[in-house]
Structure 1
Amino acid sequence: MAEEGAGAQAQQQPQLKMNILAQFIRDMSFENILAQKGGATDIQPDVQVQVNLDAKKRNVDHQYEVSIKLNVTSKAKESDVVLFVLEMDYAGVFHIENVPEDQLHPFLLIECPRMLFPFVRRVVSDVTRDGGFPPLNLENIDFVALYRNELLRRQQAEAASATKS
């Protein structure tokens, strides 16, 4: 009897709803420093990628804007000379319903960026190719690890500021 009650209760929980309403490049900059300086083109690159995430509630019910901010720097392995710099802020507008309040923050900063990432990867590949370099195919980003690292960083910052007070 208890199992039947639990099954009925699970069926009554509202279904998660998530739709991507829009996605867009908010800001992008690509500098081909190698071409500006007239350097050699047979250089082995060392590519560094920094990722920041942001999420905010919009004025419309159940709508959130999530952005992936990338900073990609490519340097020559031998000389540490900068080859190119790509900065991009890629955003998505999501309609999300029935996510428990305590799970909304991780949902916005893990699941939503996962949905946007294939599009970000394509834009980066196209821009680097069109900018005169081999297409840069970004490795998958572990958004769960990124989220956990940011939580840990914030906790450490709070603990450090508490001990100074």
Structure 2
Amino acid sequence: MADEGNVLSNLGTAPNGADNQPVAGVISQYVKDLSVENPKAPESFNWRSQPEMDVQFNIGANKVSDEVTEVELRITATSKTAEGVAYIVELSYCGLIGMRNMPDEQMHAFTYAEAPRILFPFARRVIADAVRDAGFAPLLLDPIDFNGLYIQQLAQRRAEEGAAAPAPATTEPSGEA
């Protein structure tokens, strides 16, 4: 029972004992960093103008070992009104993702599309609770299509690489025989 907590061991053993099937799973998830600013409290609680929301997110990955990668969702939510900034919430929410026996392109897709999809609902709840705890109505972030964004960014990167590639050399006839 020593391997009871090892997600990769539990998921990836074939009936014949061979360990050759692709395996991926979330080992752990956690808040790495959380910052909540309420710079104009208590005045901001009396503001009546409609706030403007700015939500930014980014995905990062850090290889921890051959089989484990830390995937990080960085989310910043800023609420501004004509009177000033009501609040700023910055969250770094991470998951340790175990992957084994997967081709590099599948590992990349799992790291930047599937893992963020799995982690996002938990990060969304942390943001909502942080905004509520700052004294405002909870901020419920809309779902994000991480797979669609991943495919879009791959297509954009391929288009940029195609445009940056040197044009094939052409030879023009010299007119001499």
What runs of 5+ residues in structure 2 fail to find an aligned partner?
A: 1-17, 167-177
Q: Is structure 2 residue 75 aligned with structure 1 residue 70? A: yes
- Residue 34 of structure 1 pairs with residue 34 of structure 2: no
1:45 equivalent in alignment to 2:48: no
Change (3 A) 1:43 1:89: same
Quote the offset at 1:130 in angstroms: 0.4
Which of 146, 149, 156 is the equivalent residue of 2:149?
A: 146
Return the alpha-carbon distance in structure 1 between the equivalents of residues 124 and 130 of structure 2: 10
Greater alpha carbon shift after TM alignment, 46-55 vs 144-153: 144-153
- Judged with a 3 Å threshold, the aligned counterparts in structure 2 of structure 1 residues 162 and 86 are, in CA distance, closer, same or farther, namely farther
Are 2:136 and 1:130 equivalent residues in the alignment?
Answer: no
Q: Which amino acid aligns with 1:20?
A: V
CA distance in 2: counterparts of 1:44 and 1:120, whole angstroms: 25
Identity within the alignment, %: 39
- AA aligned opposite 1:124: I
Q: Distance in 2 between matches of 1:34 and 1:147?
A: 37
Larger-gyration structure (1/2): 2
Q: Which amino acid aligns with 2:97?
A: F
Q: Is this contact kept in 1: 2:47–2:83, CA < 8 A?
A: no
What RMSD, in angstroms, separates the aligned Cα atoms of the two structures?
Answer: 2.7
Distance 1:44 1:75, change over 3 A: same
Deviation at 1:146, TM superposition (A): 2.8
Q: Deviations over 1:65-104 (max 9, x none)?
A: 100001111112xx27321111111110011123222221
1:138-161 Cα deviation digits (max 9, x unpaired): 100111233245446656776788
TM-score w.r.t. the length of structure 2 is 0.71
Residue 86 of structure 2: aligned partner: 83
**Higher alpha-carbon deviation: 92-101 or 141-150:** 141-150
Show the counterpart of 1:7: none
Alignment of 1:15-26 (within 5 A): 15-26=21-32
Structure ranking higher in helix proportion = 1
Say yes or no: does 1:56 pair with 2:62. Answer: yes
Q: 1:156 to 1:137 in 2, by over 3 A?
A: same
In 2 relative to 1, CA 157–88 (structure 1 residues): closer, same or farther, beyond 3 Å? farther
1:95 aligns with 2:101: no
CA shift digits 1:101-129 (9 cap, x unpaired): 22211210000011101110110111000
d(CA) in 1 for partners of 2:71, 2:153: 16
| Matches for 1:96-115 after TM superposition, within 5 Å | 96-115=99-118
Structure 1 residue ranges without an equivalent (≥5): 1-11
